[in-house]
Every structure is written in C-alpha cells, then in structure tokens.
Chain A
Amino acid sequence: MRHAAHFLRLVALLVVAVVGFLFVRSKLVPQDFGVKGHFRLSAIADEAAREPRHIGSDACAECHDEIGNAWKAGKHRTPQCENCHGPGLMHTKVVAEESTTAYPDRILKIRLAIRRPTGIVECKWCHLRTFERPSTLKSIANVADHINSHTGTFTKDSKCIDCHNPHTTVVTVNAKGVPVPPKIGP
C-alpha cells in the first residue's frame, strides 16, 4: 500500500480526537451525572440542604407561651404566627446568638428581626368581604362603616387591633360597653 502512512496519520489523529473528547467530557460532566437518570444526583441533596425559614407556631410558642396558649385556645388558631409576623428564622437566630450588644440595642435587634404587623392590613387579607369568599367566614365590606356603626370613632389611623385582639379575636368592653384596646404584646 502506497498510502499506508497517510492512513496511519489519520487514524492517529482520530485516536487523539476520541481520547481528547472523552477526557474533556469526563472533566466537564459531573461525576454523579447519570447515576439515577439524566441529571446530577447530588442536586437532590443540594436542594434538600436549604434551611427552612418558617419555623412553625409551636417553635414560636416555646418562648411566647402566654400568647401561644391564648392563640391555641381561641377562635383564631388556624392562621399561624408566621402568616402575619413573617418567617421566624432570623428572629430565633438573633435570639440564640452570643451577643455583646448592650441591653436596649439587643432588644431592638431582636424586634427588628421579625415583622411587626400593622394590625389592619393583615386582617383585610381574610376578613374583607368579597363575593367569592364563603359566607361562613366573618367579613366586613368596609372598615370605616364597620367602626362607625359600632363606636363612631373612625379616623384614618384606626386599626382593627384597636378593639379586636388578633390572637384570640376577643373584644374586651368596659362598663359602658365601649371596646377597650386589647393587650396584645409579649
């Protein structure tokens, strides 16, 4: 064969190309790709490793036991703490961390790590009347009308929590039958 040398050169080139391809491929494709399917197996563990941000109402009640017990015994036990207060992970982290911060600043830091509900926006999420809501859910069509029909004291700063305790739904009235602001805080 006159052209044997040509063949050899090309075959050598081919071998180099194949080996090179396989080498590059083995470097680029993750080691655990394709073990259980056409994906990277450790991606499952990566996703599962994320830290849950909602800690659950039971975790809240471990410290805030008084409010927790009142909430559990009351009519408002289905909405969870974090529905209105936001996720509690940062709050618990700030509480747990070793801190040299002086007393008032530390309390402020702990308070800032959790949402302080406005006391009217959160209520409206569920309790503002709309046609699609089930009639069994207590709802009002208009905040101003509702307050004025009871006490006639509606202002633009009026809040639901001026009369209703959001944790128990209880309205406390004084001797004259006028609602008094409920004690809500910790």
Chain B
Amino acid sequence: MTTPRSPDDVSRREFLGTVAKTGGQSFLFGSLFVNTALLRLPQDVATAKAKQETEIGKGVIYGFVVDTTKCIGCGSCARACRAENNVPDGYNRTWIEQYTFYPNGEVVVNSPVGGEAGFAEPPTRNMPAELEKVQPVRGFFVPKLCNHCIDTPCIQVCPVGASFKTDEGVVLVDKERCVGCGYCVQACPFGSRYLNPDTNVADKCTWCYHRVTKGLLPACVQSCPAEARIFGNVSDPASKISHILATNRVQVLKSYLGTRPRTRYIGLDSEVI
C-alpha cells in the first residue's frame, strides 16, 4: 500500500536531478551575459589599444604579387626566408615549384628542397624514366608562399585563438598561445603552415611582418633578382603594387575554395595547383 505523496515529499534522486538541471540551465543562460571584458582592468585594455594604434599604420592593407613569368628559379627567396626567419631544415615558408610540360601531355612538378639548392644540377629532377630523353615543350617556375587569405580556413579552426589576422590583412601565429595541435596545418589548403620542431608551435610566412612594419621589404622580395615578387600597400593608389595590379591580369591559387587569397599571381597556368 502506498500512501499519497505530499508536494514536499521528494526523493533525494529527484531533488538532486531537478537542482542540477535548473542550476545548469541558469549557469549557461547567465554566462551569456557575462562580458569577459568586465573582468579586465580598463587601463590594460586602453594601453594595448593605444599601443597597437600608434605602432601600426592605419589604413594600410598589404598585398603580394608573384609574377611567374619573371621567376628564374634561383631560390634566393627561399634561402633569404630561411635565414631571416630561422626556418628549421626540412620546412619552408616559401618555396619554388618547377613545372615542365612534355609532348605527351605529362606535367612534371618538382621542388627539391623547396628550390633552395637550385634546379638545374642533377639529381634534383624527379621524373618518370621514359621522359628522361624527351625534350620538354614548355616550362616555368611558380614561387609559393602563404596566401594570407581574407576568409582563412586556418584561423577558423584554431581552438585557442592563436591564429589571427591583423588590420593590414596579415595572418599571424601567436607563439605564446599556440598549443601545437596542428589543426591549422591540416586546414590550410596551400600547405603554407608547419609545426616548428624547435618550438613545437605552428609557424608560417608572416610576409616578414617584423620587417614591413619597419618600412623594409619582406626578405624574399628584397632578395629576388628578377623582380618576380612585388609587395606593398594595396590601399595606396600610388604604390608600385597598385600599379602592377591595375595594369596586369592577376589570378589567385585555388580560387574555387573561396578563401580569397591576398597573394596574387601573374601568368598562372591552369595546371598549377
């Protein structure tokens, strides 16, 4: 025989369950209104803001143009990048790809050590044996680097907010915040990122942010003897890059992915991937 339960008579299990549910809900609901900015000291935020606004030029948007028709494949850019940014061996922030077209329609793509050691001396050419004696019909070099996309896949996937974009459109990695999970390395469709084995954090081309904010050119642009790399402020109509962009037909890599790269290419062939 069961006696009718009074409203006050709840079992411990029911009670704890209800409390946990309502408590959890109100915690989640309440956390929507907690502005984390309130927890910061106001002067810290103000200093950080002022620091950024004074240090970095306002209204500057950087752009990069690679003229593949001028590249001679010397590898100076890749060597300069390694020296400037202390890139560990086996990794590249920028590299050169060599495209060779054969009469049978075959395309051979090569990038031995990122093109740093040059291309002409054997055994850098890695290709099918039957093509060894065939005279190619067409060929060119394509330098590659981070595209500094406007709609970046790499920043989206970062779980700790270590990848970010500056006002100038440069995609950077916060080396102190990065936990080295490597999601961004996988997310980048251009292979521009790598996990640095020395620091165990993600690393990438910064368009030499430490140089360009001091008024210098990126190391690869400065070292290019063929003027195949052009860097500058695209929001300034008088800059060299604005002139190049206005007088040339440019293309981006993998436009079908919709990442909207800021690195643009002159003379990009449809075979270039």
One of A2, A10, A82, A137 near B19 (C-beta < 8 A): A10
A164 CA / B174 CA spacing, docked (Å): 47
The SS class assigned to the A binding surface is loop
Q: Give, as a whole number of angstroms, the nearest-CB distance from A27 to chain B.
A: 10
Tell whether A132 pairs with B8 under 8 Å between CB atoms, given A39-B162, A47-B172, A87-B83.
no
Determine the chain A residues whose CB is within 8 A of the CB of B75 once the complex forms. Answer: 125
Most chain B Cβ neighbours within 10 Å, of A10, A11, A133, A139? A133
| Interface bracket on B | 35 or more
Determine the chain B residues whose CB is within 8 A of the CB of A2 once the complex forms. Answer: 8
Tell me if B211 and A42 are in contact (CB < 8 A).
Answer: no
One of A17, A29, A38, A133 near B72 (C-beta < 8 A): A133
Tell whether A53 pairs with B84 under 8 Å between CB atoms, given A41-B48, A48-B56.
yes
Tell me if A48 and B76 are in contact (CB < 8 A).
Answer: no
Tell me if A78 and B140 are in contact (CB < 8 A).
Answer: no
Is A25 interfacial (CB-CB < 8 Å)? yes
Question: Which chain A residue lies CB-closest to B19?
Answer: A10
Determine the chain A residues whose CB is within 8 A of the CB of B214 once the complex forms. Answer: 48, 52
Tell me if A40 and B23 are in contact (CB < 8 A).
Answer: no
Tell me if A124 and B120 are in contact (CB < 8 A).
Answer: yes
Tell me if A132 and B211 are in contact (CB < 8 A).
Answer: no
Please encode chain B, from 39 to 50, with 1 for each CB lying within 8 Å of some chain A CB and 0 for all others. Answer: 111001100110
One of B48, B165, B176 near A31 (C-beta < 8 A): B48
Tell whether A10 pairs with B213 under 8 Å between CB atoms, given A44-B52, A45-B52.
no
One of A39, A43, A46, A125 near B74 (C-beta < 8 A): A125
Determine the chain A residues whose CB is within 8 A of the CB of B49 once the complex forms. Answer: 35-36, 41
Tell me if B99 and A56 are in contact (CB < 8 A).
Answer: no
A51 CA / B219 CA spacing, docked (Å): 12
Is B150 interfacial (CB-CB < 8 Å)? no
One of A22, A34, A45, A83 near B34 (C-beta < 8 A): A22
Is A131 interfacial (CB-CB < 8 Å)? yes
One of B36, B41, B52, B72 near A137 (C-beta < 8 A): B72
Tell me if B121 and A124 are in contact (CB < 8 A).
Answer: yes
Question: Which chain A residue lies CB-closest to B141?
Answer: A132
Which A1-36 residues sit within 8 Å CB-CB of chain B?
1-3, 6-7, 10-11, 14, 17-18, 22, 25-26, 29-36
A26 CA / B219 CA spacing, docked (Å): 39
Is A177 interfacial (CB-CB < 8 Å)? no
Is B209 interfacial (CB-CB < 8 Å)? yes
Is A86 interfacial (CB-CB < 8 Å)? yes
Tell me if A43 and B80 are in contact (CB < 8 A).
Answer: no
Tell me if B80 and A26 are in contact (CB < 8 A).
Answer: no
Question: Which chain B residue lies CB-closest to A29?
Answer: B36
- List the interface of chain A (C-beta within 8 A of B): 1-3, 6-7, 10-11, 14, 17-18, 22, 25-26, 29-54, 56, 78-80, 82-83, 86-87, 124-126, 128-134, 137, 139
Nearest 10 CB-CB pairings of A with B: A39-B164, A132-B139, A50-B210, A128-B120, A43-B174, A32-B48, A130-B120, A79-B225, A78-B225, A31-B44
